[in-house]
A and B are shown apart, each in its own frame.
Chain A
Amino acid sequence: MDIAVSLERVWKVYRQGQRSARIGDLLRNLLRPQVLRVEALRGVSLEVRRGEIVAYAGPNGAGKSTTIKLLASLLAPDSGQVRVLGMDPVRDRVRYVGRIGVVFGQRTELWWDHPVAASFDWKRVVWNIPRERYERMLGLVRELLGLDEFMNALARELSLGQRMRADLAMALLHEPEVLFLDEPTLGLDVLARRNILRFVREVNRERGLTVVVTSHDMDELEQLAGRIVMLHRGNIAFDGDFASLRREVSDRRVLLLETPAGGAAPVLVGAERSGGENGRHEYVYDARQVRLSHLLEQAAAQTQILDVETHRAPIDGLVADLYERWQREPR
């Protein structure tokens, strides 16, 4: 198995100063500030195969961005080992960053007061990209990300969607082997988001690019990645595919029954009525606990069934439930 990214028992601890907002505590804040120990990563071990797209998720403060910064060579682990493409990101930084691409959704690598094309040319020189490769990748990103309309606009005048497309394109110009995306679709509209996801999938499929992506949008991650790693308080709480995640959390489904108008809603043991009116009744049930046929039998015994619809609950809702459950757990 060809491993591209490997984290081995990685610990990362921050010390966060605590300050009272009272003027009276000013001197104490300055001379003896209280320090809170924040364990961002607690012995995380993880492997990502070459060519894999891995979604990296978790509630705010779970340690996602810390992991991306460790992988991007910006942070060093307190203990444990980080290896990407066989290299130590911090020790081999110069060689290493020439082989990876990083996009932070809230930051831009573009030169603020220059046209996009100038930033790309800058990248070509600083990353020492051979002309042939540069032209090939530039052609690819121009076409797939539709950059032509704003190649000559100043970076500071781009819309958020345009800026993100340009940043993503720039991260790929040197043809990296691994791409780290930290919330790459933050604040984008649905179309821009879809275009970016489609692009990342395409590059992954065509070039075998390994991608590690963080996001809070679970539907988006499900569309993009085959595997999801979920962090919870600095530990990996789940590592598997999305189907397994659904099974792990609860395989929640929605059942819609249509009955003659004016009749009472059937009472279904094993399902919870979540709404409905005028003969349309909505139920939620856990497919791991109760079978659909059993629910339909119960309903048919109580009234005439005119129509049946069923679908999976959106994964966002499931994950929100999961986060809520985690929040209630004692620390």
Chain B
Amino acid sequence: MAADDAHPLARLPRLWALYARMDLLFIARGMKTAFSWYFADLLLALGSAAWAFLLAARFDGIGVWSKQQVAFLLGLALFVRGVIDFALNANIYSPSRRIGRGQLDHMLLMPQPLWVTIASDGFMPFSCSGTLLAGAAVIAWSVQALALPISAGWLALLALHVLSAGVIMLSFAYLWGSLAFFAPRGAEEINTTTTRLIEQLKPFPLDGVGGGLSLLLLSVVPAGFLAWLPSRVLIGLSDSSWALVATPLAALVAALLAIAVFRLGLRHYGRTGSTRYLAHGHRR
């Protein structure tokens, strides 16, 4: 027998090292690859933040948020996206594709729990760190511009909110992506739509969009948890204890829900399997 009996968690560092090495080999294959990859990554990062940034620049802020506060929110949005890019690339973040294209089979044939594969298969620290760095830079600049008092507690709060927002993003992707278990063709690209939508909506201060919409943006499409609510806490616009725990609590609920729905889908997949398979594109 080849698979080890060690706890799956113990496998993760070894797997991350493996995927980091593969990623380095991939990006260092040639100057053209490296250049075009980083160029595209930079453009994507700028593209996702440009709209909110340009509006804030043009109108000296958005609503009650100043330019600097919007910059912090943008930085946080970029940083959270950067964490996802860094750790969960290669269609791991688009489960509807892997399911819809029948490529989940590859993951099921690996001798490890599926969650270990999800947690490791998309680790691309060399090719996908651009957004993370850009986000960090924007946060650093805006923290200085807003003269925020930085302490260990504040940094811990930042880490907690980044982690929670990342969990919410991933849960959101898996909740919607699980639809592909039931409609492989129709829902293959559902994650493209959901990701684009949440990417477009998350870099905005959502104060004042209205009760009904706010509710939707904190549930069906939880864009509000990804940058807006965490930013309110981190720059001191909300100081209630409820605001403090809202995002981590939402992350917990979203994760539990996503796990339940994904498992339901997996059971369905075990009954029906996949009737379609696209040979290209399941790997980076």
User: Is chain B a partner of chain A in the same complex?
Assistant: yes
Q: Which B residue sits closest to A90, measured CB to CB? A: B270
Give Cα distance in the complex from A76 to B269, angstroms.
9
Q: Mark B246-284, 1 if CB is under 8 A from A, else 0.
A: 000000000000000000000000111100010111111
CA of A125 to CA of B26, assembled, Å: 18
Q: Give the dominant DSSP class at A's interface.
A: loop
Determine which of A93, A95, A106, A112 lies in contact with B277 in the assembled complex, contact meaning CB atoms within 8 Å.
A106
Asked whether, in the complex, the Cβ of B279 is within 8 Å of the Cβ of A126, the reply is no
Q: Is the CB of A113 within 8 A of B111?
A: no
Stretch at the interface among B41-49, B102-110, B131-139, B173-181: B102-110
Most buried by A among B11, B110, B111: B111
* A128 partner, pick from B4, B25, B26, B109, beta carbons under 8 A: B4
Could you tell me if B1 and A75 are in contact, using CB atoms closer than 8 angstroms? Answer: no
A75 touches B22 (CB 8 A): no
Contact A108 B279, CB 8 Å, known A14-B272, A69-B273, A125-B14: yes
**In the complex, residue of chain B having the shortest beta-carbon distance to the beta carbon of A115:** B25
In angstroms, Cα B270 to Cα A114, docked, is: 30
Contacts of B2 in A (CB 8 A): 98-99, 127-129, 133, 174-175
Contacts of A106 in B (CB 8 A): 277, 279
Among candidates B18, B270, B280, residue contacting A112 with C-beta atoms closer than 8 Å: B280
Interface pair B22/A94, CB less than 8 Å apart:
no
Given contacts A111-B22, A112-B284, A97 and B105 within 8 Å (CB-CB): no
Complexed CA–CA distance, A127 and B283 (Å): 18
How far is A16 from B160 in the complex, measured between Cα atoms in Å?
A: 46
Shortest beta-carbon distance, B5 to chain A, in Å?
Answer: 8
Q: Does A212 contact B (CB under 8 A)?
A: no
Specify which chain B residues have a CB less than 8 angstroms from the CB of A15 in the assembled complex: 272
Residue of A nearest to B25 (CB): A118
Which one, B1, B3, B111, B271, contacts A76 given CB within 8 A? B271
Q: Count A-side interface residues using an 8 Å CB cutoff.
A: 38
Chain B 33-72 residues near chain A, CB threshold 8 A: none
Whether A308 is near chain B, meaning CB under 8 Å from some CB there, is no
- Interfacial chain A residues near B111, Cβ < 8 Å: 94-98, 126-128
B66 → chain A closest CB, angstroms: 44
Select one of A74, A113, A114 contacting B108, CB under 8 A. A74
Contact A126–B15 (Cβ < 8 Å): yes
In the assembly, what is the distance between CA of A202 and CA of B14, in Å? Answer: 34
Task: Please count how many residues in chain B sit with their CB below 8 Å of the partner chain's CB atoms.
Answer: 30
Cβ of A10 within 8 Å of any chain B Cβ, yes or no, is: no
Check B112 for interface membership: any CB of A closer than 8 A.
Answer: yes
Structural contact, A122 and B22, CB atoms closer than 8 A: yes
In this assembly, does A72 line the interface, its C-beta being within 8 Å of a C-beta of chain B? yes
A78 to B273, CA, bound (A): 12
Smallest CB separation, B9 vs chain A (Å)? 14
A281 and B115 alpha carbons, distance in the complex (Å) = 68
**B153 interface residue per 8 A CB criterion:** no
Given A111-B283, A113-B283, A94 contacting B113 (CB threshold 8 A): yes
**Set of chain B residues within 8 Å of A78, measured between Cβ atoms:** 271
Residues of A within 8 A of B284 (CB): 111-114
**A109 interface residue per 8 A CB criterion:** yes
Report the minimal beta-carbon distance from A96 to chain B, rounded to whole angstroms: 8
Report Cα–Cα, A154/B230, bound state, in Å.
44
Q: Which residues of A contact B106 (CB under 8 A)?
A: 107, 109
Give bound CA distance, A317 to B282, whole Å: 39
Q: Which residues of B contact A214 (CB under 8 A)?
A: none
Select one of A14, A108, A128 contacting B3, CB under 8 A. A128
Report the Cα distance A128→B282, complex, angstroms. Answer: 22
Q: Pull 7 A–B residue pairs with CB atoms less than 8 Å apart, ordered by A.
A: A14-B272, A76-B271, A95-B3, A111-B283, A122-B18, A126-B111, A175-B2
What 10 A-B pairs are tightest by C-beta distance, nearest first? A98-B3, A98-B111, A174-B2, A76-B270, A128-B4, A127-B2, A125-B18, A98-B2, A112-B283, A75-B273
